[in-house]
């Protein structure tokens, strides 16, 4: 609990409530960015790059929390993140951060170091654990406001049809005035219906 409060205050200090519910090509060559064969239309960046870009232009963040062994993470990269509407929505409203939840490297934010923690066969990164509230489920997607406050972390594989309304709801700030249920009642998907 204390670590959680400390982490949120560290992110807030960086110049970083969701009740219902890029850009660096060199980053794609990083060993932490999975599936280089399918980098897709989204220019993923690191957390450190997002912090620097945010200083110049505050923007919402979507953080894709993945691991190298996660099949559903790779499926997201090969399907949902290949979709041009998803890429356009992310480009318009978010810094797209890809973060390996088992990264071995230290991440230093405002002098605070977040490390890899040995635990069982794999271990985890402290920053990933903070973003996911200790629920280490992959893939997960953390959304941060342009004030760098954690809005929500959403676990699990999402199709493009499921992910696009989430991006719009958060990126267009509908979550500030409308419940997820009311938003979805009026939402019209741009994708063709799968019903027969």
Find the CATH number of the domain harbouring 10: 3.40.30.10
Q: Is residue 181 part of a domain?
A: yes
pLDDT of residue 40: 66
End-to-end CA, the chain: 49
Residue 52, domain member (yes or no): yes
In a domain, 193, yes or no: no
Global pTM value: 0.79
pLDDT at 155: 97
Contact yes or no for 115/109 (Cβ under 8 A): no
Residue 157 lies in a domain: yes
Per-residue pLDDT at 49: 95
Within a domain: 7: yes
- Residue 132 CA to residue 152 CA, distance in Å, equals 9
Name the domain count of the chain.
1
pLDDT value of position 103 = 95
Residue 192 lies in a domain: no
Residue 193 pLDDT: 81
The partner residues of 98 in beta bridges, in order of sequence, read: 64
The burial of 24, by beta-carbon neighbours within 10 Å (0-12 exposed, 13-18 middle, 19 or more buried), is given as middle
Cβ atoms of 20 and 65 closer than 8 Å: no
Q: What is the pLDDT along the chain (196 residues), one digit of tens a residue?
A: 434 433 443 444 333 333 333 333 233 333 343 444 445 689 999 999 999 999 999 999 999 999 999 999 999 999 999 999 999 999 999 999 999 999 999 998 778 899 999 988 889 999 999 999 999 999 999 999 988 899 999 999 999 999 999 999 999 999 999 999 999 999 999 999 865 4
pLDDT of residue 10: 40
Q: pLDDT value at position 194?
A: 63
Full residue range of the structural domain in which residue 71 is found: 2-186
Within a domain: 196? no
Asked whether the beta carbons of 178 and 41 are under 8 A apart, the reply is no
C-alpha dist (Å) from residue 31 to 50, 92, 103: 18, 26, 10
Q: Is residue 109 a part of any domain in this protein?
A: yes
């Amino acid at each position: 609990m204390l670590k959680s409060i400390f982490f949120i205050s560290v992110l807030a200090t960086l110049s970083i409530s969701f009740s219902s519910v890029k850009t660096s090509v060199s980053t794609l060559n990083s060993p932490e960015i999975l599936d280089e064969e399918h980098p897709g239309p989204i220019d993923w960046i690191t957390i450190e790059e997002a912090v620097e870009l945010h200083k110049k232009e505050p923007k919402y963040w979507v953080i894709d929390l993945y691991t190298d062994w996660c099949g559903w993470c790779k499926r997201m990269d090969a399907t949902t993140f290949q979709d041009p509407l998803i890429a356009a929505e992310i480009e318009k409203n978010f810094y797209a951060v890809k973060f390996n939840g088992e990264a071995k490297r230290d991440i230093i934010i405002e002098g605070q170091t977040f490390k890899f923690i040995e635990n069982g066969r794999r271990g985890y990164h402290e920053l990933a654990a903070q973003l996911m509230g200790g629920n280490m489920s992959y893939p997960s997607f953390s959304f941060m406001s342009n004030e760098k406050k954690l809005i929500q972390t959403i676990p699990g594989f999402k199709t493009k049809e499921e992910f696009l309304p989430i991006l719009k709801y958060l990126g267009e700030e509908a979550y500030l005035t409308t419940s997820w249920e009311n938003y979805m009642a009026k939402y019209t998907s741009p994708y063709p219906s799968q019903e027969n």
